Amino acid sequence: MTAFSLEPARLAWCAELRALAAERLRPLAEKGEPGRVDRALLAELGALGLLSRLFASGALDLCLMRESLAHACTGAETALALQGLGAHPVHAHGTPAQRARWLPGVSDGSVVAAFALSEPGAGSDAAALSLTAEPAAGAAPGRGWRLTGEKRWISNAPDADFYTVFARTTPGAGARGVTAFLVPADRPGLTGSRLDMLSPHPIGALAFDAVPVSADDVLGEVDRGFRVAMDTLNLFRPSVGAFAVGMAQAALDATLAHTARRDAFGGKLKDLQSVAHQVAEMALRTESARLMVYAAATAYDEGAADVPRRSAMAKLLATETAQYVVDRAVQLHGARALQRGHLLEHLYREVRAPRVYEGASEVQRGIIAKELYGNPEDR
């Protein structure tokens, strides 16, 4: 199998996912309360076996799930993705006890996970984070800390049941002095608040007032948490691209249907060359983005050396492409697309954020350039 031609079984699975999203997940998502974790939706994702598949499949299957769900229900896609993002560090770097305690609940949808990296002064520059992990009084070296500081723009906060938190254990060490911790939401000193964002899912801030953590809460190794963060982002960045491709395809499909039936100037809208060429460009860009996403995911699954570059390219191209395609779709639909409740009005709001989170487009360009200019011996 190559990244450019999915075998029939995978194509059938994608079709099944799109049908499930439309028939079983979208009705639940439409009943959810904006800005709150939709636990009924998570429970259904768990019952369908999709959440457990987050930990049993590779990057390509993750991309196919996100693209297929996004095509019919962005709410279900986002709920699934945030569970994966928050819990992947536990799955990949946690101890057997940590995995046994938390992953079964994540898989059945009863436990909500969150990835807490961004801070008010360290969003895309993850190495600059300042949440401090100071040694706890009386604790043996490397055995206990107190977390003090703030996290901000954290998806699923403050509703999550646990957070993967990145804190500075060695001052002045940049990326080398960061440790990842698994922090249950009920730890003393941890509080959260909601942020009023352009988002249907919860996004909040977390305040840490000497929150106690121990060696049993460390994910991976002390001072090696940046590796945990980057491993997670390298996996999930192509899948953000897949989310974007799913939205772009939904917008393209709606545009094909609309331009084929809409009467205009004595014919159908599609008969106007300017319109047909715009639709062709939308299709070209969507397919190009899809292929780059699949290629990046396959590179991750195969352990290729250039995963950071490919992941950044896939997220960058796909999210920028989706913004273009959805914007063109709105333009070709006219005023009807701006009416509340219209698919394109929904997609127009949804498509903007992926160009910012998990590394803004400018950060992705920086990663690509750094990889290209990396080691002169590699060129």
* Nearest to 84, CA basis, from 129, 45, 123: 45
Is it the case that residue 376 has pLDDT exceeding 60? no
* Nearest to 9, CA basis, from 64, 56, 55: 64
Which tens digits make up the pLDDT trace of 315-337?
Answer: 999 999 999 999 999 999 999 99
Which tens digits make up the pLDDT trace of 59-100?
Answer: 999 999 999 999 999 999 999 999 999 999 999 999 999 999
Quick one: tokens of 161? Answer: 């049941």
Banded pLDDT at 114 (limits 50, 70, 90): very high
Cα 321 to chain centroid, rounded: 17
- Per-residue confidence (pLDDT) for residue 126, from 0 to 100: 62
Helix (H) / strand (E) element for 96: namely: helix 96-108
- Per-residue confidence (pLDDT) for residue 141, from 0 to 100: 77
Mean pLDDT across the stretch 37-59?
A: 95
- Per-residue confidence (pLDDT) for residue 175, from 0 to 100: 83
Specify the CATH number of the domain 8-108: 1.10.540.10
- Per-residue confidence (pLDDT) for residue 375, from 0 to 100: 59
User: Which 3 state secondary structure label does DSSP give 357?
Assistant: coil
CA angle at residue 116 from 111 to 119, to 5 degrees? 155
Banded pLDDT at 379 (limits 50, 70, 90): very low
List every span in the chain annotated with CATH 1.10.540.10: 8-108
Label residue 145 left, alpha or beta by phi (over 0 means left) and psi (-120 to 50 means alpha).
Answer: beta
CA dist., res. 45 & res. 314, Å (int): 26
* Nearest to 75, CA basis, from 24, 13, 30: 30
Average pLDDT, the chain: 93
Specify the CATH superfamily of domain 227-378.
Butyryl-CoA Dehydrogenase, subunit A, domain 3 (1.20.140.10)
In sequence order, the β-bridge partners of residue 150 are 207
Three-class secondary structure assignment of 262-287: CEECCEEHHHCHHHHHHHHHHHHHHH
- Per-residue confidence (pLDDT) for residue 1, from 0 to 100: 41
Instruction: Say which of 358, 362, 371, 377 is annotated catalytic.
Output: 358
Residue 358 a catalytic site member: yes
Cα 69 to chain centroid, rounded: 13
Amino acid identity, position 318? A
* Nearest to 344, CA basis, from 334, 355, 354: 334
Where is average pLDDT lowest: 121-125, 154-158, 275-279? 121-125
Three-class secondary structure assignment of 151-211: EEEEECCCCCCEEEEEEECCCCCHHHHEEEEEEECCCCCEEEEECCCCCCCCEEEEEEEEE
CATH 2.170.120.20 fits 113-222, yes or no: no
List every span in the chain annotated with CATH 1.20.140.10: 227-378
Is it the case that residue 122 has pLDDT exceeding 80? no
Q: What are phi and psi of 322, to 5 degrees?
A: -60, -40
Which tens digits make up the pLDDT trace of 173-194?
Answer: 888 899 999 999 999 999 999 9
pTM above 0.85, yes or no: yes
List every span in the chain annotated with CATH 2.40.110.10: 113-222
Is it the case that residue 228 has pLDDT exceeding 90? yes
